[in-house]
Amino acid sequence: MDKDWLVTGKNITFHHQLGKQKIKVLDGLNLKISKGEIICLRGPSGSGKSTLLNILGLIEPFQDGQLTFMGQNFSLISEQQKNKIRRYQLGFIFQDFQLIDVLSARENVEWFLARQGIKDNVRREIALENLAKVGLEDQIDKKPVEMSGGQRQRIAIARALAKKPSFILADEPTASLDQKTGKQIMSILSALKHQSGVSMIIASHDEMVAEYVDRIITLTDGKITDDQLISR
Amino acid sequence: MLFKFALRNVNRNKRRSLVSISTVAMGVLGILFLESFFSGLIQLHAENSIHSRHGHGQVNTIGYLDQAYEKPWEHWIDNPENILRAINDIPEVVQVFPRVQFFALLTNGTTSVAGRGQGIVGVKEAIFFNKMNIVEGNLIKDQKDGIVLGIGLARTLGVKPGDRVTIIGNTVHGSINALDLVVSGIFHVGMKEADDYLFQIQLSQAQNLLGTDKIESIALANTRDGIFDIVKTQIEKNHPQLEATSVWIIDKIWAQNGKDFLNALLRIFQLIFISVILLAIYNSASNTVLERAREIGMLRANGESNQDVMRLLTLEGVIIASSGALIGIIITIMISQVLPEGIPMPPTPGTNRELPVQLDLRFNYMLQAYLLGSIASIIATFAATLQVLQLSLAKALRAV
Using 50, 70 and 90 to split pLDDT, how confident is the model at B352?
low
Q: Do A100 and B302 touch (CB under 8 A)?
A: no
Confidence band of B351 (pLDDT split at 50, 70, 90) = low
Burial label, B111 (beta-carbon count in 10 A; 0-12, 13-18, 19+): exposed
| Contact yes or no for B314/B306 (Cβ under 8 A) | no
Mean pLDDT of the B76-90 span: 93
CB contact under 8 Å between A54 and B9, yes or no, is: no
| DSSP character string of A106-148 | HHHHHHHHHHTT--HHHHHHHHHHHHHHTT-TT-TTS-GGGS-
The confidence score (pLDDT) of residue B353 equals 66
Q: What ipTM does the predicted assembly reach?
A: 0.87
Sign of CA dihedral B6, B10, B12, B13: positive
Residue B189: pLDDT over 90: no
B204: pLDDT strictly greater than 80: yes
Given a contact cutoff of 8 angstroms between Cβ atoms, the answer to whether B329 and B35 are in contact is no
Report A:54-83 residues touching B (Cβ under 8 A): 54, 57, 59-60, 79-80, 83
A164 at the B interface (CB within 8 A)?
A: no
The span from the CA of B330 to the CA of B326, in Å, is: 6
Best of A100, A101, A159 to substitute, by most chain B Cβ atoms within 10 angstroms, is A100
- Residue B350 — pLDDT band, cuts 50, 70, 90? low
- State how far the Cα of A106 lies from the Cα of A88, in Å rounded to an integer: 19
A122 touches B at CB < 8 Å: no
Determine the average pLDDT of the residues in A210-220.
91
Share of chain B above pLDDT 70, in %: 98
Cα–Cα distance for residue pair A36/A168, rounded to 1 Å: 10
The residue-averaged pLDDT of A34-38 equals: 89
The answer, for A31 touching chain B at a CB cutoff of 8 Å, is no
Averaged pLDDT for residues A164-181: 85
Between CA A105 and CA A97 the distance in angstroms is 12
**Confidence at residue A3, expressed as pLDDT on a 0 to 100 scale:** 47
Q: Does A198 have pLDDT greater than 80?
A: yes
For residue A39, is pLDDT > 90? yes
Q: Rounded mean pLDDT of B361-378?
A: 92
* Residue B279 at interface with chain A, using a CB cutoff of 8 Å: no
Contact A115 B304 (CB under 8 A): yes
- Output the pTM of the full model: 0.76
Percent of chain B with pLDDT over 90: 59
Q: What mean pLDDT comes out for the span B267-274? A: 94
Tell me how far apart the alpha carbons of residues A156 and B217 are, in angstroms, rounded to a whole number.
86
Interchain contact B304–A (C-beta under 8 A): yes
Calculate what percentage of chain A has a pLDDT beyond 90. Answer: 35
Residues 6+ apart with CB under 8 A from B245: B57, B58, B59, B60, B65
B315: chain A residues, CB-CB within 8 Å = none
User: Lowest-pLDDT range, A145-154, B220-229, B388-397?
Assistant: B388-397
Q: What tens digit of pLDDT does each residue of A51-108 get?
A: 999 999 988 888 899 999 888 888 888 888 989 999 998 999 888 888 999 999 999 9
Residue B216, SS3? Answer: coil
Given pLDDT bands bounded at 50, 70 and 90, which one contains residue A163? confident
Q: What is the mean pLDDT of residues A15-31?
A: 88
Residue of chain B minimizing CA distance to A58: B301
pLDDT of residue A206: 85
Q: What DSSP string runs through B117-156?
A: EEEE-HHHHHHH-TTS-EEEE---TT-TTEEEEEHHHHHH
Number of Cβ atoms within 10 Å of the Cβ of A228: 12
Q: Give the three-state DSSP class for B49.
A: helix
Best of A55, A79, A102 to disrupt the B interface (most B CBs within 10 Å) is A102
- CB contacts of B295 in chain A (<8 Å) are 98, 100
Given this model, what pLDDT does residue B348 score?
A: 67
Categorize the per-residue pLDDT at B177 as very low, low, confident or very high, splitting at 50, 70 and 90.
very high
Q: With an 8 Å Cβ cutoff, is B362 touching chain A?
A: no
Is A1 a residue whose pLDDT tops 50? no
A16 touching B, CB under 8 A?
A: no
Say which range, B51-55, B231-235, B320-324, has the weakest mean pLDDT. B51-55
Closest Cα in chain A, distance from residue B14 (Å)? 12
Average pLDDT over residues B253-259: 76
Q: Residue ranges per domain, chain B?
A: 2-49+255-398, 57-224
Highest mean pLDDT among B51-55, B95-99, B223-227: B95-99
Instruction: Render pLDDT for B112-160 as a digit per residue (tens, 0 to 9).
Output: 999 999 999 999 888 888 777 888 999 998 899 999 999 999 999 999 9
Chain A CB within 8 Å of residue B7 CB: no
DSSP readout, B13-47? THHHHHHHHHHHHHHHHHHHHHHHHHHHHHHHHHH
Q: Which one of B1, B305, B394 has the shortest CB-CB distance to A114?
A: B1
> What mean pLDDT is reported for chain B?
90
